[in-house]
Structure 1
Amino acid sequence: MAKLRWGMIGGGEGSQIGPAHRLGAGLDGHFEFTAGALDHRPDAGRDYGKRLGLAEDRAYGDWREMLAGEKGRDDRIDLVTVATPNATHFEITKAFLEAGFHVLCEKPMTMTVEEGEEIVRLTKSTGRICAVNYGYTGYSLVRHMRAMVARGDLGRIRLVKAEFAHGHHADAADADNPRVRWRYDPAQAGVSAQFADCGIHALHMASFVIGQEVDRMSADTVSCIESRVLEDDAMLNLRFDGGTVGRLWTSSIALGNQHGLSIQVFGEKGGLRWAQEQPNQLYYMPLGQRLQVIERGEANLSPEADRTSRVTIGHAEGMPLAFANIYADLAEAIRAEKDGRAMDPAANLYPRAEDGLRSMAAVFAVAQSGKAQGAWVDARPPMFRT
């Protein structure tokens, strides 16, 4: 089977996220890294692209040059990943969708709800894919959780509890560090810091696993380091459209926590818990029985879990492999479109533009509720309220 052609914008030398995308895209042999505009410095981007193996005429200086160069080619890229600073996501994603390309955008998809709604409408009018990289939902056992909930193993879901709390911004002496400072500056980060950075991952995972969307929320936001304008800690109460109650905590001052993403789901007939730092184990407590440990890679898991497990049981799978599962989903979607067939339902799990829009609406809802001392607010984007 011929490889699909893949391009990347951003993710240059020294980037935190770039290598994870390149590993994920290439892992299963679905995509060939064909084109890139990898750095905001044109010469540096071209040089790094060539060192990564791009042809000289497809190692571009910026995204506009890449768009102009790719859209007229017979062998144009099938998918482009946007991994640039947050404020540029909307403009780049919109331009490539309008030119007929499929897009995987890093989160947040946009900086405003209105921009998010425009992207959703654009995907519908163009028929192009706009995926959003909530990559943690690519983990095999997260997908197995979703399958267990969907098939009724836990009965009606009563409560979901999600966390994404780390301690890497806990040092007040770091307040002037430019790598940290911008995150809490409204001029650069928008209306939210910690929730927009990490909390939306926990919120998306909760919705993904239980198959419900947030209707309303109440948020308590605080800047524990007083010099910060935007929040470094937030606690949310949530109500989902299927009747489930949600609790979400996100923090950047939780000393002792490293990554800190975890989720627990409690139903009428059982409970589940999973943590990103121990992704090979899913803890399952059926009502009236003993605690069970489900291991990634063991026999008789769901098709969604089997499809996304590559190495044998007992060997760790990490974030790049979770990213690879998102890319494998997208490869299946693109090939299904090319072949005129339905895609494998076990692969039809990649986060969509609608998810990116809901996340941005939640960001503004958290900011609104936090300023109103925790008042309950509508968390839905306006286009989904009717």
Structure 2
Amino acid sequence: MWKEMTKNKKIRMGMVGGGQGAFIGEVHRRAAFLDGQIELVAGAFSSNYENCLQTGQALGVDKSRCYEDFETMFLQESALPADERIQFVSIVTPNHLHYPVAKSALEHGFHVLSDKPATMNLAEALSLKSVIETTNRLYGLTHTYTGYPMVKEAFSQVAQGELGDITKIIVEYNQGWLSEKPSEDNKQAGWRLDPTKAGISCCMGDIGVHAANLAEYISGLNITEVCADLSSVVEGRTLDDDGTVLLKFNNGAKGVLISSQISVGEENNLTIRIYGTKAGLEWRQQEPNSLIKKFNDAPMQVIRTGVGALSELAQKYTRTPAGHPEGYLEAFANIYLQFIEQIRHFETGTQNDVTVSAPGIDEAIRGMAFIENVVDASKQSQKWHPFLLENVSQGE
């Protein structure tokens, strides 16, 4: 289906953030451009206007549509003819700007695809849902790892009952890049470790939330209780750089979530194991083309991207022939692909399949709730804490 969509006119994108020297902005752009269905026509790429202009020039964006700030961009873009103005906004700023940019974009009539986490706190995420409902615009969140074909296959197998009843989930997301105090010119580390820009968590807010989202997405379950132990291992840090969370799910299953950015030698080691009464599944982000299926009474199976009778969902988001590894950019591009399919359906008044929709505001709210619940639980002496979707205390 995605191949057929390339015949349609390109979707016009504006970007907030992602100026020269920014990491995630370039990742977003490469993912957005991969299928040839999106064109970047405007941007407020940096708070430094000269950087914004230089970035726009390098990307082929007309100078008149490189804006000093996002408010100016939304105001002037909304005044353009409907077939010229941007259709959606990609938000690739540090966390503290996600909410105000998204809110303004929606209120000016633009759809939003935001980097995660959606907001600085749960209250903002709940407020954002109200804005989305009032403005009747689309909102997506780049939980990238749900875009991998073998993650789609795992989701499908669980949904079809291949594992039986889910009993145990173990998910780990380990990195080592913050195991030492970063240099002052390391912008990526700088804002993630700054509570005014990152929020109440570094490690759990940056990568732990991806692990939680992946566990809920594949299993189809919701976290209902948490028991957390977060740490700031490197001296002088106010935000966590390591943590372990025990989980309870709404079907009675239990799990463990380990997230660390001080695990020396680890690159981007996201791994999930899901066990049911019939079989178990294992997927590793650093070897994304393989999904391992395990049994008590039969040989282990290695399911490979592009090989054999895979689910329709996995096939839909597979881009290359078997044996040609698909990685992070392709998975990221699948999130963009899902979102622009939603835009096309929205603009034609047709129904979109929810299973091929990008993560949205409900996932955003659960992500912010996860961050706040585990930070609060880590401060308490009580063992188990309910997974609240509002009024999470920040007790000492």
Does structure 2 retain, via aligned residues, the 8 Å contact 1:164–1:260?
yes
Residue 303 to residue 296, structure 1, CA distance change in 2 (3 Å)? same
Gaps of 5+ in 2: 1-7
Q: Which one of the candidate residues 285, 307, 326 is aligned to 2:316? A: 307
Which residue matches 1:158? 167
Q: Which one of the candidate residues 52, 68, 87 is aligned to 2:75? A: 68
Q: Deviations over 1:308-342 (max 9, x none)?
A: 11011111111111111011111111111112211
The answer to whether residue 264 in structure 2 is matched with residue 255 in structure 1 is: yes
Residue 198 to residue 143, structure 1, CA distance change in 2 (3 Å)? same
AA partner of residue 73 (structure 1): L
Q: Deviations over 1:356-377 (max 9, x none)?
A: 1111111111111111146322
Does structure 2 retain, via aligned residues, the 8 Å contact 1:220–1:373?
no
AA partner of residue 312 (structure 1): P
**Residues 1-386 of structure 1 correspond to what in structure 2 (within 5 A)?**
1-74=8-81, 75-172=84-181, 174=182, 179=187, 180=189, 182-348=191-357, 350-373=358-381, 375-382=383-390
Q: Deviations over 1:206-242 (max 9, x none)?
A: 1111111211111011222232222221100111223
Q: Deviations over 1:168-221 (max 9, x none)?
A: 11125x486764355334344322121111100100111111111211111011
CA-CA distance at 1:22 after TM superposition: 1.0
Query: Counterparts of 2:13 and 2:211 in 1: how far apart (Å)?
Result: 28
Query: Counterparts of 1:171 and 1:123 in 2: how far apart (Å)?
Result: 40
Gaps of 5+ in 1: none
Query: Counterparts of 2:74 and 2:309 in 1: how far apart (Å)?
Result: 45
Q: Deviations over 1:112-150 (max 9, x none)?
A: 111100111221222211111111111111111111100
AA partner of residue 345 (structure 2): A
% same residue = 35
Query: Counterparts of 2:388 and 2:202 in 1: how far apart (Å)?
Result: 20
Does structure 2 retain, via aligned residues, the 8 Å contact 1:220–1:374?
no
Which residue matches 2:4? none
Does structure 1 retain, via aligned residues, the 8 Å contact 2:94–2:197?
no
AA partner of residue 130 (structure 2): R
CA-CA distance at 1:256 after TM superposition: 2.0
Equivalent residue of 2:23, what SS? coil
Q: Deviations over 1:234-270 (max 9, x none)?
A: 1001112232212100011111211111111101110
Q: Deviations over 1:59-109 (max 9, x none)?
A: 222212211121111221111100011101110100111111110111111
Does structure 2 retain, via aligned residues, the 8 Å contact 1:130–1:353?
yes
Query: Counterparts of 1:119 and 1:331 in 2: how far apart (Å)?
Result: 20
Residue 294 to residue 336, structure 1, CA distance change in 2 (3 Å)? same
Does structure 2 retain, via aligned residues, the 8 Å contact 1:117–1:383?
no
Query: Counterparts of 2:218 and 2:203 in 1: how far apart (Å)?
Result: 22
Equivalent residue of 1:300, what SS? coil
AA partner of residue 295 (structure 2): P
Name which of structure 1's ranges 257-266 and 335-344 shifts more when overlaid on structure 2.
Answer: 335-344
AA partner of residue 46 (structure 2): D
Name which of structure 1's ranges 204-213 and 184-193 shifts more when overlaid on structure 2.
Answer: 184-193
Query: Counterparts of 1:13 and 1:186 in 2: how far apart (Å)?
Result: 24
AA partner of residue 16 (structure 1): F
AA partner of residue 321 (structure 1): E
Equivalent residue of 2:101, what SS? helix
Query: Counterparts of 1:117 and 1:368 in 2: how far apart (Å)?
Result: 18
Residue 188 to residue 373, structure 1, CA distance change in 2 (3 Å)? farther
Does structure 2 retain, via aligned residues, the 8 Å contact 1:9–1:36?
yes
Equivalent residue of 2:47, what SS? coil
CA-CA distance at 1:42 after TM superposition: 1.0
Query: Counterparts of 2:142 and 2:388 in 1: how far apart (Å)?
Result: 20
AA partner of residue 34 (structure 1): V
Query: Counterparts of 2:340 and 2:184 in 1: how far apart (Å)?
Result: 42
- Please report the TM-score for the alignment, with normalisation by the length of structure 1: 0.94
AA partner of residue 361 (structure 1): A
Does structure 1 retain, via aligned residues, the 8 Å contact 2:96–2:119?
yes
Query: Counterparts of 1:56 and 1:193 in 2: how far apart (Å)?
Result: 36
